[in-house]
Amino acid sequence: MTFLNPKINLKKYWKKKIDTLIWQKKPNKIIEKKNNRLIWFPDGKLNVYENCIANRLNEKKPCIIFVDQNNKILKLTAKEIDYKVNYLSNKIIKLLGKNFRNKKIIIHSSASLLSTISILACCKLGIHFSVVFEDLEEKAILNRINLFKPSLIISRQIKKNFFIKFKKIKLIKRMKFLFLNEINFNIKTKIIIPSYKNNSDRNLFTLFTSGSTGQPKGIVHSSGGYLMYSKFTTHKQFGVNKKTIFLTASDAGWINGHTYSLFGPLTLGATTIILESPMLLLRKEILMSIIKLKVSIIYLPVTLIRLMKSIYVNFKINTKDLKTLGSMGEPLAPSVAKWYSNFFSLGKKSIINTYFQTETGGIVSSPNFKETVKNSPHGSVGKPVSKFINFNNLNSKKPIEINIKDTWPGIMKGVINGQNFFKNYFNKQGNFRLFDLATKYKNNIYIHGRVDDVINIRGHRIGSAELEAIVLKNKNIKECSAISIKDELEGGSFVLFIVGKEKKINEYGVKKSIFSSFGSFALPKKIFYIENLPKTRSGKILRRVLRDIYENPKKNNLKDLSTILDKSVIEKIKFKILNAR
Ligand code: AMP
């Protein structure tokens, strides 16, 4: 089992990168095995805040730029951020008391100044935190509080009433609350709180996964390994440096909002732009304000790119500052990728189509900023980010489940709600399972969707992503989803959900493109025209929900729906299905 016994070369590779971080005690060891788990840089000590902000206090340029829904732009230097972080850290220490470093904090917020400053204060103090998306349903928030067991919850002043009604619950009664107003932060405090020394393996944060697979899990990341990998992948894949102005349109409650909105660009001395909501980019005036900030890298969720494609017609952006585009979260169909690069006038360059999970901490495979469409075509997730991220024997013909053979520093440390969950991530050979299907063609990797979403048509296995990419080639189709269904006669088939009006879509054209790509056997059993797809708040299509409602549209118990963006979508789809029967 190579995973738990890393090769010497792998250790040497990461040893060379030790000096990319600021250590309070430089590690001598790279990896140590303990209780069937690997610890990265076990004897190293560092502080994440020091790496992100405290080492930049003399800089004049902004470190973070916030853009809110009123198109108000707030530019903050490291020094200005440091005032706010010291102010908040001091409040936290007072509330948590002597033993504050061994307590946990939930940050209940969306992408905002409040969540950013709270995250950075936790990093400074070395307090294990978890960002919980503000607009999640009550039940989902309670569930996360129950699993994480924080001593303190930080939220916005206007959310006070939301928590007051929970106070009767025993667990919550014992907790402290800190309700803040963004304006409270307009402060220059003289208090200076030290950046505490933390073991590299100290828990940095827990993030509950999007739940696209049905069970939200609390994925825990360590300090040293995670930070090293964030910095490494941001530099290597995007080419970020001190001059970069980087826009990652992701909410703070998702892994991208941690790794690529904050830690990666901040440790590299770049400026990061944080949007109050990724959806703000659908407003032309806000998009233009961001362009005026001289943004050099734009990194967006695929669902957002698809929406932009349907909105920004006959309009193009051409700026010499923008050098690189990235995509995240979902398969990027070649037709959508092409529109994306043409819209931003970067036709020949590859899109950094990043493949990663909450569990991997950072990108495991993607094209890099130097590549062109010629060597990393649209639709592919390029090559693994390092020669030590080895996938199993992928081939060009049959999509197979993708695993990673050797460890890497960004790998999750564990799962907060159960060791059994953690064990499940490793297959019989001891490789790390990613639960996605992939192929490799001319050295580039293609992701075909989740293992659970594979479409079985009369014994032929096709990934959902592959079918959807073909359908998306048709004009007037904004979004679609293909799901596998049981078909006793034919031994498996699929149905298509298309976002759009039936009258406007050429169904014959859709079928023809499927026919010519896969053959007559692959025609959909039924096409439903719907207003919206069920999606998680991070923009992932909830294919398992579509499958469940197709199989039983009268069923009400649909497993975990805590991360769904809009529940009303489900009722509308149920209605369509029932009407068609
Ligand atoms: P999460 O941990 O919530 O970010 O979800 C990770 C999952 O999103 C992966 O396992 C994939 O199924 C999917 N995913 C992420 N990035 C890509 C990508 N570039 N192409 C295709 N699927 C992706």
pLDDT at 456: 79
Cβ of 209 below 6 Å from ligand 1: yes
pLDDT at 346: 95
Distance CA 504, CA 250 (A): 32
Cβ of 366 below 6 Å from ligand 1: no
Rounded distance from Cα 450 to ligand 1 centre (Å): 8
Average pLDDT over every residue of 223-246 = 98
pLDDT band with cut points at 50, 70 and 90 for residue 567: confident
How is residue 102 annotated by DSSP?
G
Rounded distance from Cα 356 to ligand 1 centre (Å): 6
Cβ of 354 below 6 Å from ligand 1: yes
Q: In what order do the strands lie in the sheet with 104-109?
A: 176-180, 152-156, 104-109, 128-133, 203-208, 218-222, 414-415
pLDDT band with cut points at 50, 70 and 90 for residue 85: very high
Cβ proximity of 538 and 482 under 8 Å: no
Q: Is 447 helix (H, G, I), strand (E, B) or coil?
A: strand
pLDDT at 474: 86
Rounded distance from Cα 60 to ligand 1 centre (Å): 37
Rounded distance from Cα 448 to ligand 1 centre (Å): 10
Q: Is 83 helix (H, G, I), strand (E, B) or coil?
A: helix
pLDDT band with cut points at 50, 70 and 90 for residue 551: confident
Residues 6+ apart with CB under 8 A from 186: none
Q: Considering only 144-153, 190-199, 557-566, 567-576, which range has the smallest mean pLDDT?
A: 557-566
Rounded distance from Cα 434 to ligand 1 centre (Å): 9
Of residues 502 and 389, which shows the higher confidence score? 389
Residue with the smallest CA separation from ligand 1 atom 21 is 331
Residue with tokens 């095995």: 33
End-to-end CA distance of the chain: 51
Probe ligand 1: pick from 208, 212, 350, 401, max atoms within 8 Å of CB?
212
- CA atoms 365, 369, 374, 378: torsion sign: positive
Cβ proximity of 328 and 250 under 8 Å: yes
Rounded distance from Cα 84 to ligand 1 centre (Å): 34
Tokens of 61: 């340029």
Residue with the smallest CA separation from ligand 1 atom 19 is 355
Probe ligand 1: pick from 464, 540, 541, max atoms within 8 Å of CB?
540
> Is 215 a residue whose pLDDT tops 70?
no
pLDDT band with cut points at 50, 70 and 90 for residue 185: low
Rounded distance from Cα 329 to ligand 1 centre (Å): 5
pLDDT at 229: 98
pLDDT at 558: 64
Cβ of 330 below 6 Å from ligand 1: yes
Cβ of 450 below 6 Å from ligand 1: yes
Cβ of 155 below 6 Å from ligand 1: no
pLDDT band with cut points at 50, 70 and 90 for residue 398: confident
Average pLDDT over every residue of 526-534 = 93
Distance CA 377, CA 366 (A): 11
Distance CA 334, CA 372 (A): 14
Q: Considering only 58-67, 120-129, 456-465, which range has the smallest mean pLDDT?
A: 456-465
Tens digit of each residue's pLDDT (9 = 90 or more) over 414-426: 999 777 778 889 9
Cβ proximity of 39 and 203 under 8 Å: no
pLDDT at 212: 52
For residue 293, the one-letter residue type is L
Cβ proximity of 24 and 3 under 8 Å: no
Probe ligand 1: pick from 215, 352, 365, 447, max atoms within 8 Å of CB?
447
Q: Considering only 309-323, 431-445, 565-579, which range has the smallest mean pLDDT?
A: 565-579
Cβ of 303 below 6 Å from ligand 1: no
How is residue 137 annotated by DSSP?
-
- Taking alpha carbons only, the member of 376, 229, 368 closest to residue 297 is 368
Average pLDDT over every residue of 9-36 = 96
- CA atoms 458, 461, 464, 467: torsion sign: negative
pLDDT at 49: 98
Rounded distance from Cα 523 to ligand 1 centre (Å): 26
Residues 6+ apart with CB under 8 A from 488: none
> Is 153 a residue whose pLDDT tops 90?
yes
Residue with the smallest CA separation from ligand 1 atom 12 is 450
Rounded distance from Cα 23 to ligand 1 centre (Å): 32
Q: Is 62 helix (H, G, I), strand (E, B) or coil?
A: coil
- Taking alpha carbons only, the member of 533, 435, 535, 559 closest to residue 481 is 533
Residue with tokens 């998702």: 254
- Taking alpha carbons only, the member of 381, 386, 390 closest to residue 430 is 390
> Is 571 a residue whose pLDDT tops 80?
yes
Residues 6+ apart with CB under 8 A from 513: 470, 471, 473, 474
pLDDT band with cut points at 50, 70 and 90 for residue 500: confident
Of residues 567 and 267, which shows the higher confidence score? 267
What percent of the chain is modeled with pLDDT above 90? Answer: 64
Q: Considering only 18-22, 191-195, 426-430, 514-518, which range has the smallest mean pLDDT?
A: 514-518
Distance CA 358, CA 519 (A): 36
Distance CA 577, CA 8 (A): 57
Cβ of 355 below 6 Å from ligand 1: yes
pLDDT at 186: 65
Q: At 120, give phi and psi (nearest 5°).
A: -65, -35
Distance CA 66, CA 446 (A): 34
How is residue 338 annotated by DSSP?
H
Probe ligand 1: pick from 436, 467, 536, 564, max atoms within 8 Å of CB?
436
Cβ proximity of 481 and 540 under 8 Å: no
- Taking alpha carbons only, the member of 512, 140, 68 closest to residue 290 is 68
Of residues 89 and 459, which shows the higher confidence score? 89
Cβ of 381 below 6 Å from ligand 1: yes
Instruction: Give rounded-to-5 percent helix, strand, coil for the chain.
Output: 35, 25, 40
> Is 557 a residue whose pLDDT tops 80?
no
Distances (CA, A) of 399 to 126, 446, 453: 42, 9, 12
Rounded distance from Cα 328 to ligand 1 centre (Å): 7
DSSP per residue over 285-327, as a string? HHHHHHHHTT--EEEEEHHHHHHHHHH--S-----SS--EEEE
The residues facing 39 across adjacent strands are 32
What is the residue-averaged pLDDT of the chain? Answer: 91
For residue 347, the one-letter residue type is G
Dihedral Cα 214, 359, 278, 77, nearest 10 deg = 150
For residue 98, the one-letter residue type is K
Residue with the smallest CA separation from ligand 1 atom 7 is 357
How is residue 259 annotated by DSSP?
I
Cβ of 210 below 6 Å from ligand 1: yes
Other residues' Cβ atoms within 10 Å of the Cβ of residue 580: 11
Average pLDDT over every residue of 148-173 = 88
Cβ proximity of 403 and 433 under 8 Å: yes
> Is 213 a residue whose pLDDT tops 60?
no
Instruction: Report the atom number in ligand 1 closest to the C-alpha of 538.
Output: 3
Average pLDDT over every residue of 77-87 = 95
Contacts of 287-294 with CB under 8 Å at 24 or more apart are 287/317, 289/67, 289/71, 289/73, 290/67, 290/247, 291/317, 291/319, 291/321, 291/322, 293/65, 293/73, 293/245, 294/245, 294/319, 294/321
Residue with tokens 């969950």: 421
Tens digit of each residue's pLDDT (9 = 90 or more) over 330-350: 999 999 999 999 999 998 999
Tens digit of each residue's pLDDT (9 = 90 or more) over 27-71: 999 999 998 889 999 999 999 999 999 999 999 999 999 999 999
Rounded distance from Cα 172 to ligand 1 centre (Å): 34
Distance CA 514, CA 494 (A): 12
Tens digit of each residue's pLDDT (9 = 90 or more) over 88-121: 999 999 999 999 999 999 999 888 889 999 999 9
Rounded distance from Cα 354 to ligand 1 centre (Å): 8
The residues facing 457 across adjacent strands are 460
Probe ligand 1: pick from 259, 328, 356, max atoms within 8 Å of CB?
356
- Distance from CA of residue 357 to its chain's centroid? 7
